[in-house]
Amino acid sequence: MPTVNFTGSVDKDLLKRAKVLAAKSDTSVNALFNAELRYLVETFEAAEASGNQNFKTLLDFSLGRLNDRDAMDALGIDSEEDLFLLMAQAHLPMPRLPEASTREMVDALHTLTQQPAE
């Protein structure tokens, strides 16, 4: 299968940790990346071909495009535990908060630290 080089960026600490994992697994970061990307694409394509939108919903949740409540509604579940179990079964990383939510939390913390002590 022909390969192509591409340029991307990755968090410096993540790359360092990936190199350690690759060394411990007697493989390369490139092989790890290809395996994970292949899994993601093939799983998405299989779900899409069968008309199942669950993987897309989980991926959107993982990427912070959906909040937990909307993801659970779309999946027809009512438990956050079930949602996180589905995430693990789908082999997807746990979500990060949307940027706006993270900013609101940071601003709230700044406000708390700037209030005078009683």
Average pLDDT (100-106) is: 86
Average pLDDT (53-59) is: 92
Query: Of the segments 1-5, 23-27, 87-91, which one has the largest average pLDDT value?
Result: 23-27
Contact 69, 77 (CB under 8 A): no
CA distance 118 to 116: 6
Average pLDDT (86-99) is: 83
Average pLDDT (35-54) is: 87
- Nearest CA to 92 among 35, 36, 31? 36
Q: pTM here? A: 0.61
Cα–Cα separations (whole angstroms), residue 109 to 103, 113, 114, 115: 10, 6, 9, 10
Q: List the domain boundaries for the chain.
A: 12-114
pLDDT at 49: 87
> Which pLDDT tens digit goes with each residue over 65-84?
899 999 999 999 999 999 99
